[in-house]
A = this chain, B = another copy of it.
């Protein structure tokens, strides 16, 4: 999907330009580029996971075209936290500019470094701490502690001669955070006193009224579930949710269960978290999977990935009875301590149903309070606006419904309506003389990763996949004498994804033969024209006979 529009005029001297190459108008692949005095600052560089109309795609990247000719102008890439939708595309940017300073907190950079190792990259890491100030080119940055569903998240303030900008990253306001590290509302208020010219605010939960319950309220719910379990317990959650896992571990210790981590990303991330002191693991608590299988069933607990119903995950395989080691038995307890990301409902409920069918007790968001969101809903966003008191607001991180809801909250707190700028990916916003306004648009499309290659799968391939996935195809192959146009053998018709009936296409063969006689009689020898004629005949036949629309693929072989 390419957005067309006018490119913006040159940025006035002393102005600040903001453009999202991903993450606004969608949830994922967050990447915002700031320009000032001829230099660039990038905040986040994440991936987006594909939807139903993007079949076969593994990942979607931000569109780097707007900066690909200015890579040397980038003074820093700031990462607000370690979630995939904020760091997942960094290796692809590093391929273009390997030495860009990558700025982030300790845990964020540790996750990034692990990712880069898999890509055989050694990024230029610049670790910052809460409250630190640091300049990169003309951008004077200040970092603020932020609470989110991963440790060590930060918001970033950007000071330039154009004014003061604050970008929340992903944020919520848990007032009793498990690690005691509060979102630095006091710091935001101090910035507000100073005067924030542009406030970029997480929109993800702007439609949701009220407040998020504290993360620590999950613990007693888990305790209540695990206390009553007399057999195996499996808790699935996001592989980066250190505080959720911490609470599971605490309950495991309490009920004398040892813990096995299941899933590559869970093992990797919790290893990093434990090593850096973000996860506290008593000695001897962890066992490997083989050892766990030898323990009595009421002395073990598995912490697993697969909470979104990913078909290849360990949990999905257990639900289908296909896991190599773990067989679910009636009476086992499975907890999905996670959100239900829109679009994953069928997959997740498929897992819940599979486990239920096997007789397991399945505890999930829908029947117990085993999850709280990582994003501020409306009530908390109001606190943020009132602390920061910004002159201009730009809702980020969200689909249009979220952006509009967030904009309405800004206006409700007193921000002037024409100072709230909704600018989806590619829309250029300039902050000049204290006023933010749209100045144009750059092209931003979807960049697809499918297997090993990036960018060769585009909209035309996807549209073919959608047609093929709905109706399969009918292939017609004819060898034709290239001088006379006569078919030298009977045409073959074969369908895949069209019908289970082996005789389904029989009727069409004679129609193709008749059409070939006609083209021959008319002296048509051009393969392309013969192919068109044959495609038309079969397409019409299948529409009338079956009312279906398979792809019709003629191949004419001149011999």
Q: Which residues of B contact A488 (CB under 8 A)?
A: 559
Q: Is A116 an interface residue (CB 8 A)?
A: no
Complex contact A456–B501 (CB within 8 A): yes
A477 CA to B55 CA, complexed, in Å: 26
Contact of A546 among B52, B424, B453, B473 (CB under 8 A): B453
Q: Give the interface residue-count category, chain A.
A: 35 or more
Q: Is A1 an interface residue (CB 8 A)?
A: no
A370 CA to B501 CA, complexed, in Å: 46
A442 to chain B, nearest CB (A): 18
Q: Is A69 an interface residue (CB 8 A)?
A: no
Complex contact A452–B500 (CB within 8 A): no
How would you classify the secondary structure of chain A's contact residues: helix, strand, loop or mixed? mixed
A317 to chain B, nearest CB (A): 16
Q: Is A440 an interface residue (CB 8 A)?
A: no
Encoded as 1 (CB less than 8 Å from any B CB) or 0, chain A from 398 to 411 comes to 01110111000000
Q: Is A437 an interface residue (CB 8 A)?
A: no
Complex contact A349–B353 (CB within 8 A): no
Q: Which residues of B contact A401 (CB under 8 A)?
A: 349, 352-353, 356, 362
Q: Is A443 an interface residue (CB 8 A)?
A: no
Complex contact B473–A468 (CB within 8 A): yes
Complex contact A399–B453 (CB within 8 A): no
A424 CA to B51 CA, complexed, in Å: 31
Q: Is A143 an interface residue (CB 8 A)?
A: no
Q: Is A122 an interface residue (CB 8 A)?
A: no
A543 to chain B, nearest CB (A): 9
Closest residue of B by beta carbon distance from A27: B349
Q: Is A470 an interface residue (CB 8 A)?
A: yes
Complex contact A456–B504 (CB within 8 A): yes
Complex contact A547–B452 (CB within 8 A): yes
Encoded as 1 (CB less than 8 Å from any B CB) or 0, chain A from 543 to 559 comes to 00111100101010111
Complex contact A500–B52 (CB within 8 A): no
The stretch among A59-67, A72-80, A290-298, A338-346 that forms the contact with chain B is A338-346
Q: Is A224 an interface residue (CB 8 A)?
A: no
Complex contact A461–B497 (CB within 8 A): yes
Contact of A500 among B352, B424, B458 (CB under 8 A): B458
Q: Which of A468-519 contact B (CB under 8 A)?
A: 468-473, 475, 477, 479, 488-489, 492, 494, 496-501, 504
Closest residue of B by beta carbon distance from A555: B477
Closest residue of B by beta carbon distance from A471: B56
Q: Which residues of B contact A468 (CB under 8 A)?
A: 465, 468-469, 472-473, 496-497
A342 CA to B366 CA, complexed, in Å: 13
Q: Which residues of B contact A281 (CB under 8 A)?
A: none
Closest residue of B by beta carbon distance from A408: B361
Contact of A464 among B467, B472, B548 (CB under 8 A): B472
Encoded as 1 (CB less than 8 Å from any B CB) or 0, chain A from 293 to 311 comes to 0000000000000000000
Q: Is A457 an interface residue (CB 8 A)?
A: yes
Complex contact A404–B356 (CB within 8 A): yes
A451 CA to B547 CA, complexed, in Å: 5
Q: Is A250 an interface residue (CB 8 A)?
A: no
Q: Is A207 an interface residue (CB 8 A)?
A: yes
Given contacts A401-B362, A404-B356, A546-B453, contact A496 B472 (CB under 8 A): no
A548 CA to B399 CA, complexed, in Å: 30
Complex contact B353–A400 (CB within 8 A): yes
Q: Which residues of B contact A207 (CB under 8 A)?
A: 366-367
13 contacts between A and B (CB under 8 A): A25-B357, A56-B472, A207-B366, A209-B367, A349-B399, A450-B548, A461-B497, A465-B469, A473-B473, A475-B475, A477-B477, A489-B557, A557-B557
